């Protein structure tokens, strides 16, 4: 019976023993799949959290915008002429309007 020499044997011997263990390799592949490959892994969860943060920021923006619009509506209903003059610089035909800009 002839003895066959495996040409990869020196390379395999250089790999640390735990990495050559088939159970370790199976567990490493399993955890790698569960962390990065699964739909409930780290990357999809991070992307979902980023989406939640962006949507909460948009929600705050629209709530603030809604408050400002409601305040403008109340101002219009209370005094239409004052609102038109202050917001849109409207004037009567026989008057001049001067806009004073403060140093802010």
> Over its length of 104 residues, how does the chain's per-residue pLDDT go in tens digits?
556 787 888 887 888 887 788 898 899 898 888 887 778 888 888 899 999 999 999 999 999 999 999 998 888 888 887 777 777 777 777 877 777 787 76
Output the pTM of the full model.
0.52
pLDDT at site 34: 82
Phi, psi for residue 76 in degrees, rounded to 5: -65, -45
pLDDT at site 3: 60
Task: Annotate 64-77 with b (16+ C-beta within 10 A) or e (fewer).
Answer: eeeeeeeeeeeeee
pLDDT at site 18: 77
Q: How far is CA 72 from the centre of its chain?
A: 31
> Which token pair is 42?
């780290």
């Amino acid at each position: 019976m002839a003895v066959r020499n495996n040409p990869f044997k020196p390379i395999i011997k250089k790999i640390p023993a735990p990495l050559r263990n088939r159970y370790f390799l199976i567990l490493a592949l399993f955890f790698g799949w569960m962390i990065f490959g699964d739909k409930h892994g780290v990357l999809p969860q991070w992307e979902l959290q980023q989406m939640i943060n962006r949507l909460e920021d948009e929600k705050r923006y629209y709530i603030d915008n809604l408050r400002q619009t409601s305040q403008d509506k109340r101002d219009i209903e209370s005094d239409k002429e004052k609102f038109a003059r202050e917001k849109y610089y409207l004037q009567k035909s026989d008057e001049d309007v001067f806009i004073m800009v403060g140093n802010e």
